[in-house]
Structure 1
């Protein structure tokens, strides 16, 4: 059971979910109070990551949505963690922004205390423990990519704290279309140019198949020499132009049967509207 805070207590920094148990109590008394808790809102994003021969490539679209409204057409979804680790965030934009800033500060303190660059597995462990602690109430799906002394690594962290370590992955509402492109065209030891093209194609597929994704592609290439952000790598993607005319001349489709019915007005009544 989550702890309840008194009205006289000062809440500490970080996420606070002391009202979760209160909302459950209200739901249990729904028959008398008529209370229903808010449902999850649909979010839209396509984020992709893959490991190539010399490092990791991360990519994301640039559209931020609020339910069915496009809130931002130039949103940046690739977040800085350390000099050798970056991540992409999908889901609730505020949650993704906050957890990545918190992770970045924790890893910076870790580097200062150990005197060594942070490892990708350390970032993955800190983030998944944080997400598991809040049991999915932090609505962020994160792809962590980076390179350390053990080579390039790519991890995906889901809102409930489960993680995957793969050579390529995609998250967000456009992930189904993006992962289809990745599974079809990915191969080990790809060059940087091949990897960038594949990430771009995967995100483009997500944009074309998902209304919540759009406005172009951003990329981040991480190698031993450092990270390079490619802001606005492509512009808004359209579904293409029609190749032919789809207008048909009158009479092209045959009329098999035609009938005309006339109705007579039997009674008519007029009612006066009360405007007082």
Structure 2
């Protein structure tokens, strides 16, 4: 599911897919996502951006109905702007995640939205919160969602390490997404990442042409067309 559904005019259910992941490292968080927006078997957008800023220090990864997740993000952006104006300070990551949870839970019968909220604040450093379709919020050192995540649970359990450096965490995110995009037909395109730390926010983009194949970890020069 991922921002992968603009509902098609069909009478039956529409299959959806996406791959999103967020991890903490020693000093911040990294969010990563593929870029394929699908409507059943049709790829509507190959380079969509599933990483949305809620405010300067908190971002969300969106999976589910594109319209639903975009609506939640827009409302929460408004609530956060009001909160920060009243308090005169940056919002905490937990408070921002709680606002997303409230929107998802209060509208669970009408929305199809699974989100991950991650960010950095001066109180608790880097934090990741997973918010499921029903609106349950779970704090975790790392979280993943979408149809592609089912293929990488074993990889993440094996290779996740607490206290990773920023570069180690970035490599971990990109490698996990690469595997998810390989095995999940509804995930694909390019890889986008956002790193949030005390020094600010850094966005990075890895085009599909530069994502190496995973079959036996071969180099591109050894892959038979």
Where on the TM-score scale, by shorter chain, does this alignment land: which range?
A: 0.7 to 0.9
Query: Shift of residue 233 of structure 1?
Result: 2.1
Query: Shift of residue 180 of structure 1?
Result: 2.3
Partner of 2:52: 79
Q: How do residues 158-177 of structure 1 correspond to structure 2 at under 5 angstroms? A: 158-177=132-151
Q: Equivalent of 1:133, from 93, 97, 106? A: 106
3-state SS in 2 of match to 1:189? coil
Q: Is the counterpart of residue 205 in structure 1 residue 199 in structure 2?
A: no
Partner of 1:220: 194
CA distance in 2, matches of 1:221, 1:50: 10
Per-residue Cα deviation, 1:113-169 (whole angstroms, up to 9, x for no partner): 111110111112111111111124211111100011221110011121111110011
CA RMSD after TM alignment: 2.0
3-state SS in 1 of match to 2:110? coil
CA distance in 1, matches of 2:60, 2:203: 12
Query: Shift of residue 40 of structure 1?
Result: 4.4
Partner of 1:107: 80
Partner of 1:264: none
CA distance in 2, matches of 1:141, 1:178: 18
Query: Shift of residue 244 of structure 1?
Result: 9.4
Task: Indicate how the Cα distance of structure 1 residues 143 and 87 shifts in structure 2: closer, same or farther if over 3 A, else same.
Answer: same
3-state SS in 1 of match to 2:147? coil
Task: Indicate how the Cα distance of structure 1 residues 190 and 218 shifts in structure 2: closer, same or farther if over 3 A, else same.
Answer: same
Partner of 2:7: none
CA distance in 2, matches of 1:83, 1:184: 32
**1:168/1:182 contact within 8 Å kept:** no
Query: Shift of residue 41 of structure 1?
Result: 2.4
CA distance in 2, matches of 1:40, 1:114: 44
Q: Equivalent of 2:43, from 70, 76, 79? A: 70
Query: Shift of residue 55 of structure 1?
Result: 0.1
**2:179/2:214 contact within 8 Å kept:** no
* Larger CA Rg, structure 1 vs 2: 1
Structure 1 length-normalised TM: 0.71
Structure 2 length-normalised TM: 0.86
The alignment covers a number of residue pairs equal to 208
Structure 2 gap segments, 5+ residues each: 1-10
CA distance in 1, matches of 2:77, 2:168: 30
3-state SS in 2 of match to 1:125? helix
CA distance in 1, matches of 2:61, 2:24: 14
